[in-house]
Amino acid sequence: MQLIFSFDTEEYETPGIDDTVKIWADMLAKLWMPWCILHRWRKGARVARPRTQRYHRRTRCPRN
Amino acid sequence: MLRDRGRKDIIDALAVHEIDFHSDWHSRHPVHAEYLDEMGWDDGVQRVIEEEAQGIRDVEEILGQRPIAYCKPGGSWGPQVAYGMALMGLPVFCDAPFEFAPGQPMWFCNQLFIGYHASFDRYFEVEDRLTRMKADFRQLCDRIGHGTLVMYTHPVRLFTRKFADNYRYGKNTPRSEWVPAPMRSAAQIEALIRDFDAFVGYVVGEGVEVIDYQQLYEQYEERRKWIDQTPLFQLAEKIQLELNSQIVDGTSYSPAEIFGMVVFALAWHQRTGSLPQAIPIRRLIGPTGSPKFDDSQEPVGVDALLNRIGQVDEGLTEHHRVPSSVVLEPRAISPGSFLKAAAHILGAIAANKELPDQLPLDANWHVPKIVERSDFTEMRFDWSIFYPGFEGKRVIEMAKLQAWTAKPALKGSG
């Protein structure tokens, strides 16, 4: 089975509402992490979200 | 708005995700279904393009990526929206009003239709949220099987207890009078974030393959432009048994596409005396006007049909759609009856059989079989944003006419 997370953003002028988009974007960024970073996240480590490059979670872990 | 408010941090956070299109104005009246209910096909498609092209451009410019999918706002849509979005380069329609089977997409009006199956929203007020979400997700996995599950939410609802009411029941509240939606408590927000984050982690841990709409489209994209005689003859045989989409050699064809191929082959034969070796797959749409035809079962003359076939073929090339009726003087017959008779003639020519003088017409062959499904027979518009009393009867009628374009999406069929 495949899964797509599909989020409908709408703008309602409610103060502070923009931040909800960022919270979800950061939460779901984990989906595109390489396995090794994802594994560390699942173990409870705080990991940095890839800032510009989108990794698929099945891709090889980049060398540091 | 994000750009205007200087929220580059949010735009950067979105950069790792696929950004699609959710209409330019969402709930502002008249919404798509409301104005399409007053319009025909061509003017409807034109208006969709005029109203939405700038929004698509804005997404591309601000987020740095061109959307591939269109997700309809709430319950508002029309077949002209799907067709217009496909013309503007968005081949996927998400939150579609129907799909072929749960988790199995469908081609409709030349767009890949896939629905929404689950949501975060339904768990906002649920106690023992995470446990319920996991259990429901496992059940959904079993139901979807090898298909694609789409889970949605509205990010705004993480903070708000309900949606704002500024556009409900046909209202166009002026911006200066907008009333913000009521907020959740900080503790509630924190609990939601904690549980949803844990759920995302759970999904990843279950080994479910998470994809986006671009990846979905690549799996189903149809690249085939031509077919040979053998599959054409098979399609002509199958379409005589049922006016519906047909599958040959792992590729599905809509009734409109089959109409185009059968007519092309017969027109070619009329001009040259032989059948074409390669037949183009024209991505035709269905009839766009209310059908007006003689539904008697009086036989039709084969010569009359063949003498008309060249004009029908030219009409398909010019208008890119199945005609509402085909005039065979002194009567007009339905495109379904015409297709069945034409497919029979093609089969006889392919088998070197003598053509009969006349063919019986099937008076029940007006619309593809798929419109008997409940998602067509029970189609309705019941979104709370619509004007009170809005029914969208004309949109529904147009959607049923476009059942000619419906066919299952098959992986790797291109």
**Contact status, residue B226 vs residue B352, Cβ threshold 8 Å:** no
Residue numbers in A near B155 (CB within 8 A):
7, 9, 20-21, 23-24
pLDDT score of A51 = 45
Q: Count the Cβ atoms, other than its own, within 10 Å of residue B271.
A: 12
- Kindly report, residue by residue over B30-55, the tens digit of the pLDDT: 999 999 999 999 999 999 999 999 99
The distance of B186 to chain A (nearest Cα, Å) reads: 13
- B89 and B192 together in one domain: yes
User: Does residue B46 lie in a domain region?
Assistant: yes
Residue type at B128? Answer: D
* Band (A52; pLDDT cuts 50, 70, 90): very low
Burial of residue B285, with CB atoms counted within 10 A of its CB: 0-12 exposed, 13-18 middle, 19 or more buried: buried
- B184 and B322 together in one domain: no
Kindly tell me the sign of the dihedral angle through the C-alpha atoms of B106, B107, B109, B114. Answer: positive
What residues contact residue B224 under an 8 Å CB cut-off, 6+ apart?
Answer: B251, B281, B413, B414
What is the spatial distance between Cα B301 and Cα B309, in angstroms, rounded to a whole number? 13
In this prediction, residues B100-109 reach a mean pLDDT of 97
**Contact status, residue B158 vs residue B181, Cβ threshold 8 Å:** no
C-alpha R_g of chain A: 14
Mean pLDDT in chain B? Answer: 94
Residue numbers in A near B95 (CB within 8 A):
6, 8
Instruction: Quote the ipTM score.
Output: 0.93
- B106 and B232 together in one domain: no
Torsions phi, psi of B277, nearest 5?
Answer: -75, -35
The partner residues of B101 in beta bridges, in order of sequence, read: B104
Residue numbers in B near A30 (CB within 8 A):
200-201, 204
Structure pTM? 0.93
- B207 and B235 together in one domain: no
Q: What is the CATH number of the domain that holds B46?
A: 3.20.20
User: Does residue B343 lie in a domain region?
Assistant: yes
The tally of domains found in chain B comes to 2
- Kindly report, residue by residue over B246-277, the tens digit of the pLDDT: 999 999 999 999 999 999 999 999 999 999 99
Say if the Cβ atoms of A52 and B178 lie within 8 Å.
Answer: no
User: Does residue B140 lie in a domain region?
Assistant: yes
| Among B10, B95, B164, beta carbon nearest to A22 | B10
A54: pLDDT strictly greater than 80:
no
Q: What angle do CA B8, B11, B15 make, to 5 degrees?
A: 135
- B82 and B45 together in one domain: yes
Looking up tokens 């749409």 gives B285
User: Does residue B144 lie in a domain region?
Assistant: yes
A47: pLDDT strictly greater than 90:
no
User: Does residue B385 lie in a domain region?
Assistant: no
For A5, what's the count of Cα atoms within 13 Å in the CB-facing half-sphere? 25
- B200 and B320 together in one domain: no
Q: Count the Cβ atoms, other than its own, within 10 Å of residue B172.
A: 11
- B234 and B197 together in one domain: no
Domain that holds residue B210: 8-220+392-408
> What DSSP designation does B126 have?
-
Interface test with A, best of B72, B156, B163, B195 (most A CBs within 10 A): B156
pLDDT score of B312 = 98
User: Does residue B42 lie in a domain region?
Assistant: yes
Mean pLDDT check: name the lowest of A5-14, A31-40, B377-386. Answer: A31-40
User: Does residue B378 lie in a domain region?
Assistant: no
- B163 and B46 together in one domain: yes
- Kindly report, residue by residue over B328-354, the tens digit of the pLDDT: 888 899 999 999 999 999 999 999 999
User: Does residue B373 lie in a domain region?
Assistant: no
- B15 and B148 together in one domain: yes
- B48 and B135 together in one domain: yes
- B241 and B360 together in one domain: yes
- Kindly report, residue by residue over B197-237, the tens digit of the pLDDT: 999 988 877 878 899 999 999 999 999 999 999 999 999 99
